Amino acid sequence: MINSFDTDIALINPFNKKIVLRDFYSSTISKGIYNWPNIDLLSLAANLQKKFNVKIIDANTEKLSSHKVIKLLNSKKLKGLIFSVGKSVLEDDYKFINEIKNGLNQKVKTFVVGGVVYYDAKKELENNSFLDGCIINFTTDDILSYFLNKRTGLKNLVYRENNKIIECENELPRNGFTLPIAPHDQLNLKKYRLSHGKSNYLTSVITSYGCPHKCSFCVSGKINYRYRDPDNIIQELDYLKKIGVKEIMFKDNIFGFHKRNYKELLTKMINKNYNFSWVSDSRVDVLDEELLNLMHKSGCHALHFGIETKSEKTLENYQKNLKDTNCVKKTLNLCKKYRILTVGYFILGLPGETKEDVIETIKYSVELNLDFASFNLPIPIIGTELRLKSIQNNWVLNNSSNYDGSNTPIINTGKLLPDELKKLRSDAYKKFYLRLKYIFKIIFKIKNFFQLKMIILEFTNLITKRH
Ligand code: SF4
């Protein structure tokens, strides 16, 4: 329940019937019941609250219809609205924004942030007259300058002014960055949870931005890697401790990449004795034993790795250049040693793969002895080489206006047919999760009632939903 609030700028995660995770230039529909606070909106709110009263409204998590959000907003004098949007539900998101704008009793500048606007901002504004602008980089304070009516020196924004679309320079500096503390306490943190989480008093924090790698199916490699100052992160963690946060999702693409910084951050976290439990995404060829030991001591209990496929040829074709393919098993074994759960992400049927490649990948996911696995289908994400190739070859299916790799095939190369791929994905889930050995392993890892509840909910979801 969201009560009345004072605000100049509202940052809104749109309502959807499904749980939608839209942040850090990607969006996906939750395959289970997991959900975390939107890092784009948190980071933008952090900068905006230097000069404005801000309010984050997670209409998706709170299940607030446009009608309810309009009611909340109409009693305020608003300066701006910022919506997080995602390609996997873009039509729904734009419908929601339109309803809000039509229902408001005042004219309000409306911006959007998200992967879809990262490459096509001008087109989004041309096609959607209800939008006033797009935010390209959620870690800078350009949007603060915009709402302070500055119009010179603006960067990382595309906006409408006097019927013209102004495209500011995209500045993606490579140096480190800091962020003011985000207003996490505006969110009902009890409502967020991870399938493998230890507690539901969960929030999101970033320690870096972008990715130094260039996998050609992923948009993050297009964003210059920047790391956040460790002392600045510690200030935010001190505040999170004070407000009672128990679990943290470090919303990084590649936790641990800048070794010196991460060793400093983790050592400080250990010395502070926060007692947080935390999870993040990383790469198998980035983490070494010293780092994993520090991660474990500072509360890390699960790591997510993009393993993608068993096929070395596919890894090479898509520039997922691992330093050494043996590092997959080596890093997963080290995680076991430090009692860190491992989650493997796989993409089944990237163009060029055969049915046999996909079957090998499914077998591999079982052999790796991962704790959890997520099987996805290729998505031609805007801004990626995979998208360019898919368009050039006419592989993108006509009915795919909303992109989500967690259910329906979006690419048809004519070799692995969509129905076949869908069935392979369904088989992958059954082969991975419905094994007695696996079920016993997970039961023995349950440490508290919350984990038991989450496992039961996720398994029920897995069995009752047709993947
Ligand atoms: S390492 Fe991960 S985040 Fe980075 S480009 Fe590759 S898939 Fe994307």
pLDDT top residue among 191 and 454: 191
- The full set of domain ranges for the chain reads 4-167, 184-466
Atom of ligand 1 nearest to the CA of 283: 1
46 Cβ closer than 6 Å to some ligand 1 atom: no
Average pLDDT, whole number, for the chain? 91
The percentage of residues in the chain with a pLDDT greater than 90, rounded to a whole number, is: 76
pLDDT the model gives residue 460 = 66
pLDDT the model gives residue 46 = 98
Instruction: Tell the burial category of 280 from Cβ atoms under 10 Å away from its Cβ (0-12, 13-18, 19+).
Output: buried
215 Cβ closer than 6 Å to some ligand 1 atom: yes
**Is the per-residue pLDDT at 458 higher than 50?**
yes
Question: What is the C-alpha separation between 345 and 357, in angstroms, rounded?
Answer: 16
pLDDT the model gives residue 78 = 94
List the alpha helices (DSSP H) in 368-405: 385-392
Which H or E element spans position 101? helix 90-103
**Is the per-residue pLDDT at 457 higher than 80?**
no
Provide the pLDDT confidence category of residue 1 given band limits of 50, 70 and 90.
low
365 Cβ closer than 6 Å to some ligand 1 atom: no
Question: What is the C-alpha separation between 430 and 434, in angstroms, rounded?
Answer: 5
Ligand 1 mean position to 253 CA, how many Å? 7
Cβ proximity of 350 and 378 under 8 Å:
yes
224 Cα distance to chain centroid? 17
Task: Return contacts of 160-165, CB within 8 angstroms, 24+ apart.
Answer: 160/125, 160/131, 160/132, 160/133, 165/122, 165/125, 165/126
**Is the per-residue pLDDT at 311 higher than 60?**
yes
Provide the pLDDT confidence category of residue 401 given band limits of 50, 70 and 90.
low
301 Cβ closer than 6 Å to some ligand 1 atom: no
Tell me which fold the domain 4-167 belongs to.
Rossmann fold (3.40.50)
Phi, psi of 454 (to 5 degrees): -65, -40
Atom of ligand 1 nearest to the CA of 320: 6
Helix and strand counts by DSSP (H, E) for the chain? 15, 17
219 Cβ closer than 6 Å to some ligand 1 atom: no
| Average pLDDT of the residues in 399-416 | 73
Ligand 1 mean position to 152 CA, how many Å? 34
The DSSP letter of residue 182 is P
Atom 1 of ligand 1, nearest CA residue? 213
Phi, psi of 111 (to 5 degrees): -115, 155
Beta-carbon contacts of 2 under 8 Å, excluding residues fewer than 6 positions away, are: 57, 62, 64, 72
306 Cβ closer than 6 Å to some ligand 1 atom: yes
- The DSSP code sequence of 400-416 is -SS--TTSS--B--SSS
pLDDT the model gives residue 467 = 43
b/e 93-126 (16+ beta carbons within 10 angstroms → b):
bbebbbbbbeebeeebbbbbbbbbbbbbbeebbe
Provide the pLDDT confidence category of residue 409 given band limits of 50, 70 and 90.
confident
350 Cβ closer than 6 Å to some ligand 1 atom: no
pLDDT tens digits along 19-57:
999 999 888 888 778 999 999 999 999 999 999 999 999
The reported pTM is 0.93
Question: What is the C-alpha separation between 270 and 273, in angstroms, rounded?
Answer: 5
Beta-carbon contacts of 203 under 8 Å, excluding residues fewer than 6 positions away, are: 36, 37, 42, 184, 187, 189, 192, 240, 245, 247, 248, 249
Ligand 1 pocket test, pick from 225, 258, 320 with the greatest ligand atom count within 8 Å of Cβ, gives 320
pLDDT the model gives residue 184 = 98
pLDDT tens digits along 157-215:
999 999 999 999 988 666 789 999 999 999 999 999 998 888 889 999 999 999 999 99
Which residues is 81 bridged to in the sheet?
10, 110
The percentage of residues in the chain with a pLDDT greater than 70, rounded to a whole number, is: 94
Neighbours of 239 (CB within 10 A): 15
Question: What is the C-alpha separation between 360 and 87, in angstroms, rounded?
Answer: 30
192 Cα distance to chain centroid? 14
CA–CA distances in Å: residue 192 to residues 189, 266, 301 = 6, 24, 17
Atom 3 of ligand 1, nearest CA residue? 253
Question: What is the C-alpha separation between 197 and 301, in angstroms, rounded?
Answer: 8
Provide the pLDDT confidence category of residue 407 given band limits of 50, 70 and 90.
low
Beta-carbon contacts of 430 under 8 Å, excluding residues fewer than 6 positions away, are: none
pLDDT the model gives residue 141 = 94
Amino acid at 116: V
Question: What is the C-alpha separation between 410 and 398, in angstroms, rounded?
Answer: 9
Cβ proximity of 236 and 222 under 8 Å:
no
Cβ proximity of 228 and 208 under 8 Å:
yes
Provide the pLDDT confidence category of residue 370 given band limits of 50, 70 and 90.
very high
Cβ proximity of 20 and 31 under 8 Å:
no
Ligand 1 pocket test, pick from 218, 282, 320, 346 with the greatest ligand atom count within 8 Å of Cβ, gives 218
Neighbours of 317 (CB within 10 A): 15
Superfamily of domain 184-466: tm_1862 like domain (3.80.30.20)
pLDDT tens digits along 76-108:
889 999 999 998 899 999 999 999 999 999 999
Atom of ligand 1 nearest to the CA of 319: 6
Cβ proximity of 405 and 28 under 8 Å:
yes
Ligand 1 mean position to 254 CA, how many Å? 8
Question: What is the C-alpha separation between 318 and 389, in angstroms, rounded?
Answer: 12
| Average pLDDT of the residues in 112-122 | 90
**Is the per-residue pLDDT at 453 higher than 90?**
no
Atom of ligand 1 nearest to the CA of 253: 3
213 Cβ closer than 6 Å to some ligand 1 atom: yes
pLDDT the model gives residue 118 = 85
Provide the pLDDT confidence category of residue 459 given band limits of 50, 70 and 90.
low
**Is the per-residue pLDDT at 454 higher than 80?**
no
**Is the per-residue pLDDT at 451 higher than 90?**
no
| Average pLDDT of the residues in 323-340 | 93
